[in-house]
Structure 1
Amino acid sequence: METDPAPKLPPARERIGPISDSLKQLYPEVVTALTHENALQLLVATILSAQCTDARVNTVTPALFARFRTARDFATCDITELEQLIKPTGFYKNKAKHIRACGVALVERFGGEVPGNLDDLVTLPGVGRKTANVILGDAFATPGITVDTHVGRLSRRLGLTRHRDPVKVELVLMELVPRAEWTDFSHRLILHGRKVCYSRKPRCESCPLAALCPNVGVKGLAQKRKRKRKFVSGRPNGAAPKS
């Protein structure tokens, strides 16, 4: 796999248009993978998606949303019952605490409705900018850059930013990407991270973005894998274990 940086690539501001166009061709229709019918369901599903796959969350939410339909339902729920319903998503005790607390906050401060602006959303328990931008983009059609692990990783590999702090990555992308495309650009980067630009073994040789990508950090991954193969259980490959 060729991992050396491409020579004399234009700066990020000049590449962002072609990068976005290529992603549009690859993933023309994009929506969140989390199944939901309204903003409240998306809020809860997004909280559940922390350290969990969207697919697994989608196996849990049908029963959850059949049992709890409104913010007041979540605010007054039995915490043990809630924990059992969401247990397969992992970290269920903290997630249950945040979901119920969100229900309370929505009832007490927002009339039981999910607010449609970033400043209010990030005041809800367990809701940071990433979750807030998911809700804004997919429930309210308000553009937002969602920086999850895929968006952060691809933004750095593509040479769009060097930052590792999600908020700083978000702000850089907000400057580079036209506002109307924020939500869809985020979704497309996430899909590309899941399908092509893997964390450990990115498929650079077949990536349609290869000509636009400096592969930042990818060469280091290959070197790490080579060193790891060289040593097995603390000894060089082929060496006999000590008796």
Structure 2
Amino acid sequence: MRIYKAKDYADMSRKAANIISAQVIIKPNSVLGLATGSSPIGAYRQLIEWYRKGDVDFRKVTSINLDEYRGLPQSDPQSYSYFMHQYFFDHVNVCPQNIHIPDGMAPDPQEECRRYDTLIQACGGIDLQLLGIGHNGHIGFNEPGEAFEKRTHCVSLSSSTIEANKRFFDNEESVPRQAYTMGMRSIMQAKQILLIVSGEEKAEIVKEAFCGPVTPQVPASALQLHNNVTLVGDQAALSLIPDGGIDE
């Protein structure tokens, strides 16, 4: 595992964007696994800036998003489809037919999960998977549990995840209780994983995930088993990582 310690959120975002842009420059038809939430917004803004300058071209890129709320249409401002268009897709030249996000309005959840797994395989797998980490160690919507979920699945959100996400909705009752998420196998099969994290409130879970045991109670801990993971975090988020505890 490589760790890049950033000064702050802006520096973290630039470092993450550098890694993503390098992937696209080296392989223009890269398959990018993309994430939502507050953590990647700065990286997306930096990528947009470099695109406008002509430094990076997304025309041949395929994007596969990690997750989506169940029950929200793409037009809903709180859907992850809406988020991705607002913060990234509408500002770069990713081809619309190459954008893939779980269908929150699919009538059959099991069929939608099968469709998404088949799609990932048809794309040849993911070249670079971008991730954040939740306060309880979830990645995507892979919540703490008794076993790692391997495939795309429809999950009931934990109370801590609902609490963390309610700031985006009018109230807690408006937060969807279920979501589709890419499974741990698809995530772990990505050729490269980029995890970004910022803020003192994430320091404890970062330490638990990367200095503790591998356990489905902390889903992000599985990343310890991947051979190509880069962790980019600001000083606050990495403050509890002991010196020498992880290869940098």
Task: Give the TM-score of the pair, scaled to structure 2.
Answer: 0.24
* Higher relative contact order (Cα pairs below 8 Å, separated by 6+ residues): 2
More helix by share: 1
